[in-house]
C-alpha cells in the first residue's frame, strides 16, 4: 500500500524532469518487480545513478524512510 501512495506522487514530484516518462517507468519496475531487499537495494543504486538523481530530495527522503 505504501508503494501505491508513492507512485501516485511521482507525477507531482518528478513530472518536471526532462526524462520523466523513462524515470517513472524505471521507478515503477523497481518498486513492483524487486523480489528481495537486496534486489531493491541494488536496483535503487542503479536507478539513481542511471538517471543522475543523487540530488533529488524527494527520492532521498523516500529511500531513507523506507524502513519506517
In this prediction, what percent of the chain has a pLDDT beyond 90?
69
CB 26 within 8 A of CB 46: no
- Domain boundaries of the chain, sorted by first residue: 2-64
Question: If you average pLDDT over every residue of the chain, what do you get?
Answer: 89
Alpha carbons 35 and 15: distance in angstroms, whole number: 27
In this prediction, what percent of the chain has a pLDDT beyond 70?
91
For the segment 22-37, what is each residue's pLDDT rounded down to a tens digit?
Answer: 999 999 999 889 999 8
CA separation, residue 28 to residues 25, 31, 43, 44 (Å) = 5, 5, 11, 11
Q: Give the residue with greater pLDDT, 2 vs 29.
A: 29
Alpha carbons 22 and 36: distance in angstroms, whole number: 23
Reply yes or no on whether the pLDDT at 9 is more than 80: yes
Amino acid at each position: 500500500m505504501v508503494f501505491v501512495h508513492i507512485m501516485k506522487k511521482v507525477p507531482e514530484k518528478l513530472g518536471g524532469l526532462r526524462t520523466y516518462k523513462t524515470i517513472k517507468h524505471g521507478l515503477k519496475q523497481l518498486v513492483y518487480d524487486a523480489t528481495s531487499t537486496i534486489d531493491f537495494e541494488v536496483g535503487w543504486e542503479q536507478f539513481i545513478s542511471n538517471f543522475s538523481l543523487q540530488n533529488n530530495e524527494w527520492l532521498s527522503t523516500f529511500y531513507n524512510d523506507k524502513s519506517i
